[in-house]
Chains A and B, each alone.
Chain A
Amino acid sequence: MGTEENQELNAREEWEKEYQKASLRDSNFETMSGVPVEPVYGDDLFPGQYPYTRGIYPSMYRSRLWTMRMFAGFGTAEDTNLRFKELLRNGGTGLSTAFDMPTLMGRDSDSEWSLGEVGRAGVAVDTLSDMEDLFADIDLSQVSTSMTINGPAATLLAMYVAVAEQTGVEPHQLAGTIQNDILKEYQAQKEYIYPPRPSMRIVTDMVKYTTAEMPKWHPISISGYHIREAGSTAAQELAFTLANGFSYVEAAIAAGQNVNEFGKRLSFFFNSHSDFFEEIGKFRAARRIWARWMKERYGATDEKAMLCRFHTQTAGVSLTAQQPEINIARVGIQALAAALGGTQSLHTDSFDEALALPTEDAARIALRTQQIVAHETGVVNVADPLGGSPYVEWMTDEMERQAEAIFAHLDDLGNGSILEGTFNGIENGYFVGEIADAAYRFEREVNSGRRIIVGVNEFTDGDNPEDRNLLRIGAETEEYQLKRLNDVKTKRNQEHVNSALSEITAVASDPTRNLMPAIIAAVKTYATEEEIANAMEVVFGTYVEKAIV
């Protein structure tokens, strides 16, 4: 008994030591009524202590609130640039870029595939010229930028590096994240270009490049968000995402990378849905599982390489087209779950997203919603305030148990390799099949009325479709973008473009060489995104998903 008390004392003492070192925000850390509160409650495990179930930092939000990172991007690069500056002025602390569908798929705006999609769901980027306009008058050494792109991620990262260079900012000064999580594309989001294995080679090349040149950059944001949006359960989101993380770790280790080095720069991206305690349990379990696996299975020794840092976005799929204004309440609850789950950054969805792309007003309300959670609710004063609750601890254990069962299946499928298990699971339709089953189960529950969705299958009075003010993006964006692309193509030196593209093909054919320098050289010649994608496609081939419905 005595020794246990000692250990408890040691854990608390250790935590106190670390907490003292942290710089705190200027705040009284007391309730609205003036009651002072402790930074954490409980006495066996503390935040910042392995396996980090209670948070990755000793002082959590007392030192720094989560980053309020609002995803934005639509129309042309100039349109989005204005929105960026508006967000920075409004107190947003990081930029997050949404690209349009053609850009996400490695297609140029003038491709026949792009018709009707240019600049619609995000900003259109064809060449370096668009990227120059996207970040015009923003000091890239001072912001942290997140780019949501996967299939052609290497090209967009190359463009970002090239734009920074033009303004005298070196790669090592650049801070931010590129999603670059290709595995979940085959499982959920479906924005892939090449088959899984060559795609994995590109990811690994990017990990190597950023480790060497861009120490402040997160080369992969391992994303469960889209898995959940595609219909998975919370536990599947957790397990598939972490398994993808293990896969990247195995691939990087196989490529000779040091797990302590790149492990520090991996980050995660989760969904926050409406089942409050399940979400909180999921976030807590994610930290615990990741730390254990990094330490025990992959041999990480640096604690920073064991931390599951994550961004959260509220569940777009939970938003209803009926009575859209009530989505504001859903987003508030989901944002609160993310905060209680210890997220490092948060995007709150706009209430009109089930109808169209968000209007500026709706995006502002969404940002205000998380500001209320951060500044009015007091949940930021105490780290992991729900830790120790029997229900929350049980839920955390249950999430972990379900995830471990899935890891065991994948490990088996890959004969002791999660990476191979994941490849095989993609190939045999395991992931898409599980997700489709879960999505269908949910729909049946809603349809039978056993699950109530307010405004959809119950409480349906009060919907006023006439009152809606939706963001419309006209055909003029597409025309404008086509003209820009054409201008760039006529002005550039075609010989330089051609030789840069041939070099990409040559490097792609040689797995021992890194693709990044060749791609950076190509974007500087104003080669288009699609030209670069095609230069690799001739070597890598394309991917068609088999029908798992």
Chain B
Amino acid sequence: MTSSSDLATDLFKSAVKGERRSLGKLLTAIERGGDQAEIIAGLAHQVSGNTHVVGITGAPGSGKSTLTGRLLKLFSEAGDKLAVLAVDPSSPLTGGAILGDRIRMDDLAGEESFIRSMATRGHSGGLALAVPAAIQLFDAVGYEPVIIETVGVGQVEVDVAGAADTTVVVVTPGMGDAVQANKAGLLEVADIFVVNKSDRPGASDARRDLELMLDLGHVSGLEQMTGYRPPIIMANSLDGTGADEVLDAIKSHAEYLRNSGKIHIRRKERLVMEIQNRIELLVESTASGILKSELGASSITKVLDRKISPAEAAKSIVGSIISSE
């Protein structure tokens, strides 16, 4: 335990000094979870809370990576030292993954920037802890901004992207992409919309669909309270059209958050969510531990014998967790 703690501390110190390899290893430990991940997240947490976090999400094939590459280039040219966390799904069958997002980013990123690919690894809980910890780590070692890119398909991915300070949702013309985005819950988390491949037929329809959905109030409850209406930017990430505008929109959203004080609310929400996720995971693992223990076995027998109901068994187990703490 001590040696693992020392190792984490040493790696952390060297990462803070700019040693990329150490940062790479810390990210691996965070992904792996467990005690060492908690130690690292703890170290990072103490000195983080400054960087602006940008989430970029959209359906597969919407051109997110290319757009992210373009933004990387613009940030790098402006002298920013940024980090990208590119999250892609693991195969549900084998647990393996092919992570290919670096391809369209590498050439565009400045030497100072840092790109890390992360697979979802099947269990949503892990990702929900690893991503915030990775953000805090990037923050602690001085990356600004941090970009999280996810495929906006599953709830977890949406949650992850939605937990950013500024969330960019990328849609493409045709095939009701905007409507799909709405179903996936992406509209509620969007701070900026990008209609990518704006040269395609149907691009202005996609824009109109989004405007309409905003008008109809999918997000307008938020808008009425905040006075902020997500801009819709027409872009073509292949030739770079619109990337400047996306960057400007990210910057003005960041400014809006700071000026309105909303940034504190967002960050508090993010931390609350992290605590909640950690509680859920702790309770879950404790509960499954108890189910395998003697107490669990006797509860199960009682339920089987129709002496108590499953609900009563659950309550008594949770009660035992709370009283033991």
Show the binding face of A for B, using Cβ within 8 Å.
195, 415, 427-429, 544-549
Known: A195-B238, A415-B201. A546 touches B65 (CB 8 A): yes
Give CA–CA (A273, B99) in the complex, Å.
Answer: 33
Give CA–CA (A547, B66) in the complex, Å.
Answer: 11
Q: B103 near A544 (CB under 8 angstroms)?
A: yes
- Shortest C-beta distance, B134 to chain A (Å), equals 21
Closest to B65 in A: A546
Given contacts A547-B98, A547-B104, 20 further A-B contacts (CB under 8 A): A195-B238, A415-B201, A427-B238, A428-B61, A429-B61, A544-B103, A544-B104, A544-B107, A545-B103, A546-B65, A546-B66, A546-B100, A546-B103, A546-B104, A547-B100, A547-B101, A547-B103, A548-B100, A549-B98, A549-B100
Give CA–CA (A428, B98) in the complex, Å.
Answer: 17
- Shortest C-beta distance, B11 to chain A (Å), equals 29
- Which residues of A lie under 8 Å from residue B65 when comparing CB positions? 546
- Shortest C-beta distance, B172 to chain A (Å), equals 9
- Fill in one digit per residue for B38-51: 1 if any A CB lies within 8 Å of its CB, else 0: 00000000000000
Give CA–CA (A428, B61) in the complex, Å.
Answer: 7
- Shortest C-beta distance, A112 to chain B (Å), equals 16
- Shortest C-beta distance, A474 to chain B (Å), equals 33
9 tightest A-B CB contacts, nearest first: A547-B100, A547-B103, A549-B98, A546-B104, A428-B61, A544-B104, A415-B201, A549-B100, A544-B107
Give CA–CA (A546, B68) in the complex, Å.
Answer: 13
- Which residues of B lie under 8 Å from residue A546 when comparing CB positions? 65-66, 100, 103-104
Give CA–CA (A336, B66) in the complex, Å.
Answer: 46
Within B78-112, which residues are at the interface with A (CB < 8 Å)? 98, 100-101, 103-104, 107
Give CA–CA (A195, B101) in the complex, Å.
Answer: 19
Closest to A548 in B: B100
Within B51-73, which residues are at the interface with A (CB < 8 Å)? 61, 65-66
Give CA–CA (A545, B65) in the complex, Å.
Answer: 12
Give CA–CA (A365, B303) in the complex, Å.
Answer: 80
Give CA–CA (A250, B104) in the complex, Å.
Answer: 30
- Which residues of A lie under 8 Å from residue B98 when comparing CB positions? 547, 549
Give CA–CA (A429, B104) in the complex, Å.
Answer: 13
Give CA–CA (A549, B99) in the complex, Å.
Answer: 9
- Which residues of A lie under 8 Å from residue B61 when comparing CB positions? 428-429
Closest to B106 in A: A544
- Shortest C-beta distance, A384 to chain B (Å), equals 43
22 A–B contacts from the bound complex (CB under 8 Å): A195-B238, A415-B201, A427-B238, A428-B61, A429-B61, A544-B103, A544-B104, A544-B107, A545-B103, A546-B65, A546-B66, A546-B100, A546-B103, A546-B104, A547-B98, A547-B100, A547-B101, A547-B103, A547-B104, A548-B100, A549-B98, A549-B100
- Which residues of B lie under 8 Å from residue A544 when comparing CB positions? 103-104, 107
- Which residues of A lie under 8 Å from residue B66 when comparing CB positions? 546
Give CA–CA (A544, B101) in the complex, Å.
Answer: 12
- Shortest C-beta distance, B79 to chain A (Å), equals 24
- Shortest C-beta distance, A513 to chain B (Å), equals 21
- Which residues of A lie under 8 Å from residue B107 when comparing CB positions? 544
- Shortest C-beta distance, B149 to chain A (Å), equals 13
- Which residues of A lie under 8 Å from residue B104 when comparing CB positions? 544, 546-547
- Which residues of B lie under 8 Å from residue A415 when comparing CB positions? 201
- Which residues of B lie under 8 Å from residue A195 when comparing CB positions? 238
Give CA–CA (A549, B100) in the complex, Å.
Answer: 8
Give CA–CA (A22, B104) in the complex, Å.
Answer: 56
Closest to A196 in B: B238
- Which residues of B lie under 8 Å from residue A548 when comparing CB positions? 100
Closest to B202 in A: A415
Give CA–CA (A195, B100) in the complex, Å.
Answer: 20
Give CA–CA (A182, B98) in the complex, Å.
Answer: 28
Give CA–CA (A545, B107) in the complex, Å.
Answer: 12
- Shortest C-beta distance, B226 to chain A (Å), equals 36
| Interface core residue of A415, A429, A546, A549 (most chain B CB under 10 Å) | A546
- Which residues of B lie under 8 Å from residue A547 when comparing CB positions? 98, 100-101, 103-104
| Interface core residue of B65, B104, B107, B238 (most chain A CB under 10 Å) | B238
- Shortest C-beta distance, A441 to chain B (Å), equals 16
- Which residues of A lie under 8 Å from residue B238 when comparing CB positions? 195, 427
Closest to B197 in A: A427
Closest to B108 in A: A544
Give CA–CA (A545, B103) in the complex, Å.
Answer: 8
Give CA–CA (A366, B103) in the complex, Å.
Answer: 40
- Which residues of B lie under 8 Å from residue A549 when comparing CB positions? 98, 100
Give CA–CA (A415, B65) in the complex, Å.
Answer: 26
- Shortest C-beta distance, A260 to chain B (Å), equals 31
- Shortest C-beta distance, A428 to chain B (Å), equals 6
Closest to B240 in A: A541
- Fill in one digit per residue for B193-210: 1 if any A CB lies within 8 Å of its CB, else 0: 000000001000000000
- Shortest C-beta distance, A368 to chain B (Å), equals 44
Closest to B107 in A: A544
Closest to A195 in B: B238
- Which residues of A lie under 8 Å from residue B201 when comparing CB positions? 415
Closest to A427 in B: B238
Give CA–CA (A428, B196) in the complex, Å.
Answer: 13
- Shortest C-beta distance, B238 to chain A (Å), equals 7
- Which residues of B lie under 8 Å from residue A545 when comparing CB positions? 103
- Shortest C-beta distance, B67 to chain A (Å), equals 12
Within B90-144, which residues are at the interface with A (CB < 8 Å)? 98, 100-101, 103-104, 107
- Shortest C-beta distance, A462 to chain B (Å), equals 36
- Which residues of B lie under 8 Å from residue A428 when comparing CB positions? 61
Give CA–CA (A429, B201) in the complex, Å.
Answer: 19
- Shortest C-beta distance, A129 to chain B (Å), equals 33
